[in-house]
Structure formats: structure tokens, C-alpha cells
Structure 1
């Protein structure tokens, strides 16, 4: 019996340790291009899915049901001589405790995406060596996704992953590709991870944890308390707003959360929506139409 159990244990252990971090779908949309049906686009899509999902990005052991759900949608606007230009939309989500609901965590569009790629070339990430802009951008967003997800489960849980993303930025700054520089007016990859690691925006990480772990995750068991926590969490953004008006991270949060917040407060136990809407209109006025749908 012991000899039988040992190989079974080894197989199960191997499966557990080999489980990767992401359950992601990468889509390459070439429909805008006149040569959009070329095989290279499908090859690129397959290679990117393997790169994101089969690489081991951390030292953590993820169970299959712990893998982070994500989508990366690359829309190409130009292709010529192995040079690609376009944008990439990154979306991630996580399940809410005791529900079948997936809450959006990160929803971001990066319009400064260009790279070179030769069909069938291997995509290899080395944390100590910048190999290509394609690999750099994809690795950067993998770590941002992992960091955002970890922030929702433990206070400042994403810091180690944001530091890995920052390493990519540092390596990429010696290139001519857009999105990595700390100069210019456009918000970019440099600014995003710099803000995520800055003490100036410490309340953002508290908000991510409180909103998800202390708010959403208890809604099923205690709807009233969960709503009160979520409503209180919105006050944290006021501190950031006073310090840094129109902060990048505030916009990032509400890009992902505006519709969900509206839905949370659309029915069930009442909270003081007068003060809530006042806070929301102050910290996220771009989403005023969503806040107008929250009824008194």
C-alpha cells in the first residue's frame, strides 16, 4: 500500500507545482489590416497564449482553481516587414466568495503598443535581459495582473509583483519603443507601475483590499455590512484626490468598477447614498452618469 501511495502522491504534487499562475486568453485581432488573414497573426496568437499561460512567473504554487482569469486583446492597426503596431486591452477578474460572480479587477487599454516579430520565433522572458518589446509588454502586464489580483486578497499583497513589472520598465527604457518613458503627457506603463509602488497612493492598496475582501466577499453572508464597507472604501479615494487630482490610479479603479458599484447599490439594504454619490462625483466625475443611476 505504501509503495502505491508514494507514486500517486508524487503525481499529484507534480500537477500542483506545475500549475501556472494565469488562466488567460490572448486574442490577436487583425481585421483592420488589408492582409489580416495572413497565417502569421494566428501563429502570433498561439505563441502569446503559450507564453502567458505556460511560463512560471512566480515562486508561488497555484492550484488550478487559483489561477487568475484574464484577457489580453491585441488589435493591430499596422503590419509591415515584421513590424506591428496597435493597442492592447488588458482585463482581469476574480471570483467573489460564496458566489458564481466574477468581479472585474483591472480593465486598461494601452494604445502605445508596437513590436517586431518573425513568425515562429520563440518568446522567452528573462528577468535579467530585455529581449524584445513584445515579450517586455506581455511580461509587464502579467505582473500587473498578478499584483492587482494579490492586492484584493491581502493588504499590499501585490507589491512584489509590481516590483517585477518595474524591472521590465527599467530594462525597456533604453529602447526607442513608446510607453516606457517618464517623459511626455500620455499616461503609460512607466506611470502606472510607478504610481502602484509610490507611497503617495498608499490608500489605493487599502481600497483594493477593503473593497474586495471586506466588502464584496461578505455581501453574500451580510449584505448590509458589505455595502457599508464598500461605501466607506470610496472615502479613501478622497485622500488621493486631494493630494493628486485626477490621479491615474483612481481612473484605473473606476474604469473597472463603475458599473459594479452602480449595481451593488441598486437594490437590497439601503445605505446613505446621498453621501455616497457626493463622494463618487467628487473622486470620479467622469462616471457621473453611472452615479446618477444610484437611486435614493
Structure 2
């Protein structure tokens, strides 16, 4: 059973925790270190507006308790300004989920969007519609909100994030009509289009299932029995070997393994020598790009 539902039941039973509907607990930084003449006060106001948009909108039909809200960070760096409403920017976007029984949060999303350009007039609200394109900024934020929720759901239930990815796809399809970069296949191999395509592509279902097995089947049990948790994770790894190796360089597996490699190595470091070597051999075959982070397993 998903941890969220257990907490919800206990909270209701004892009446100790109030409910809050929204899903995200986003922290937002808006920076412009190399852009002259930008009004810092206006940036601060926009930063607050973006944060409120992410945190105050409903991205699912579920009710989330305050402590269940998904931790995420948006660091938006403005790289150019036209002196009016036009901003060129890139964004570092990260989300995580708690590990049961610990104070540790495990990363689910960590990527850099280099096409986070938008137009914004000082003081205007950020409005979003799932039927029509309003602004690139609201589409960008909604797309990543849905993606963050989807990855969180995938970690608590097998293929649990599909509906959120479909909502992100709808946002993407509508945004394509406005012609901004990053929404179309032709805009590059590592953009919003391809991330969403990967998340909904059957070729990557094994990786999505692994996200559930890794977090709910393994990591959430690590505190109570680290050896058993490591065994569960080791048993889940061979399924990833069945993925098409030509697909391993795609944005979804590349992003996921890059954010997880060090954590995975630390988990298997607690295993017995035979399991460590087995894990090492599987990991370097599945994720050769991060082989240096797995070397400690072989050397112990």
C-alpha cells in the first residue's frame, strides 16, 4: 500500500494533521547573474508568482496532506533580456521523494532545460489552460508539474504516473502550436518532447517499473533491513538488461541513471562481496556512462 494512504488513514484516525489539496512543495530561484539592467525587485515578484503558480494549482484529482507534497526545486537562470517582456532562460529542475523511515529524500528528476524562454509583463498573473495555449511560461511550468507528479506516482505504484504523463503530453501538444523551442522532436534529442515521448513509450516500461521496484520494493525497506533491501534491488536489475541498448542513450534513462548512480552504488556497498560483484557487472552493462561511480563495488 502506498505510504501516502497509510499516513492519510492514521492522520484521520487521530485527527492530528489537516489536509491540503495541492501536490507540490516547490522552491523557486530566479537568477540573472550576467544580465545587466534587470530590475531585481521585479524578478523577486516573478519568482514568488512562479512559486505560487506551482504550489497553489491542483495537478491531480487527489488530496495530498501537507507532509505528502512533493519536494521540488526550480532554479531559473535568465541569460538574456530584450528590455521589455522577452526573456531567454534555462532552468535546472529537480524533484525527490522521501524514503520510508528516514529523513533522506531520493532524487527522481534532475535535468537542465536550456530552452526555458518566456515572455512576461511585470505584475501579470500566470494563467494556464489545458485547452488553449496562453503563455509559454505557464505551459513550461504545467508540463514540469505534471512530469514531477508522474515520476512521484511511478515510485509508489507500478506505472502509476501514466495519467500525469498524458496530461504533460497534452500541454506539450498545445504548446507546439506557438512555435517556442523544446516542444518538438526537431528541436533536439534531449528536450521536453523526447522526455515525454520516452515516459510514455512502451520501450521504457521496464525502467518505469524498476523505479517502483527500486523505491517502494527496495529503498523504503532499507532502514528496517538493508541487506534484504539490497537483495530486492539486485533481483530487479536483470529486467533492465532486457531494454534495447540503443535506447539507453535516450533522455529518460540517461537522466535517471545520472541522478541515481551514486545512490545505487552506496546501497550495494552494504551488500556481501558476491552480491556487490554481481551488482557491479549488471550496472556497468546497463549504465556504462556512469561506470566510474560503480567502481567502488568492484574494489571493495
TM-score (norm 2): 0.89
**What is the CA–CA distance in structure 2 between the aligned matches of 1:232 and 1:75, rounded to whole Å?**
41
Counterparts of 1:271 and 1:93, CA distance in 2? 31
Q: Secondary structure at the match of 2:167?
A: helix
Alignment partners' CA distance in 2, 1:184 and 1:282 = 30
Q: Is the aligned partner of 1:45 residue 2:47?
A: yes
2-structure distance, mates of 1:67, 1:234: 29
Structure 1 pair 34–200 and aligned structure 2 pair: CA distance change class (3 A):
same
Deviation at residue 37 of structure 1 after TM alignment = 4.8
Q: Residue 76 of structure 2 corresponds to which residue in structure 1?
A: 74
2:281 corresponds to 1:278: yes
Asked if structure 1 preserves the Cα contact closer than 8 Å seen for 2:182 and 2:188, the reply is no
| Residue 151, structure 1, aligned to residue 168, structure 2 | no
Instruction: Name the structure 2 match of 1:133.
Output: 136
- By how many angstroms is 1:235 displaced? 2.4
Aligned to 1:56: 58
Provide the C-alpha distance between the structure 2 equivalents of 1:271 and 1:218, rounded to a whole number of angstroms. 21
Aligned to 2:197: 194
What is aligned with 2:257? 254
**Given that residues 147 and 165 in structure 2 are in contact (C-alpha distance below 8 angstroms), is that contact kept between their aligned partners in structure 1?**
yes
Distance, in Å, in 2 between the alignment partners of 1:280 and 1:37 is 48
Q: Work out the CA distance in 2 between the residues paired with 1:121 and 1:259.
A: 42
* Aligned partner (choices 221, 225, 230) of residue 227 of structure 1: 230
1:209 matched to which residue of 2? Answer: 212
Q: Give the Å deviation of 1:282.
A: 1.8
Deviation at 1:38, TM superposition (A): 2.9
Instruction: Name the CA distance, whole Å, in 2 between partners of 1:209 and 1:243.
Output: 23
Match of 1:6 in 2: none
SS at structure 2 position matched to 1:57: coil
Q: Which runs of 5+ in 1 are unaligned?
A: 1-8
**1:163 aligned residue (161, 166, 177):** 166
Cα separation, 2, equivalents of 1:272 and 1:59: 42
* CA RMSD, Structure 1 to Structure 2 (Å): 2.0
Shift in Å at residue 124 of structure 1?
1.3
Q: Distance in 1 between matches of 2:278 and 2:251?
A: 24
> Deviation string for 1:73-126 (max 9, x for gaps)?
101111112111121111111111111111111111111111100111110111
Call closer, same or farther: CA 1:278–1:268 in 2, change over 3 Å. Answer: closer
Matched, 1:109 2:88: no
| 35-44 vs 197-206, greater mean Cα deviation | 35-44
Cα offset, 1:140, TM superposition: 0.2
Flag structure 2 segments of 5+ consecutive residues without an equivalent.
Answer: 1-11
Partner SS state of residue 157, structure 2:
coil
- The change in CA–CA distance for 1:268 and 1:200 in structure 2 (over 3 A counts) is closer
**Any conservation in 2 of the 1:224–1:270 contact (CA below 8 Å)?**
no
Superposed CA offset, 1:168-203 (max 9, x none): 011011122100001244311011111111111110
1:5 aligns to what? none
Matched residues in 2 for 1:261 and 1:37: separation? 43
Give the secondary-structure state (helix, strand or coil) at the position aligned to 1:239. Answer: coil
SS in 2 for 1:33: coil
In the TM superposition, residue 158 of structure 1 has moved relative to its aligned partner by 0.5
Shift of 1:216: 0.2
Q: TM-score, structure 1 length as denominator?
A: 0.90
2:269 matched residue in structure 1: 266
Report deviation, 1:266: 2.5
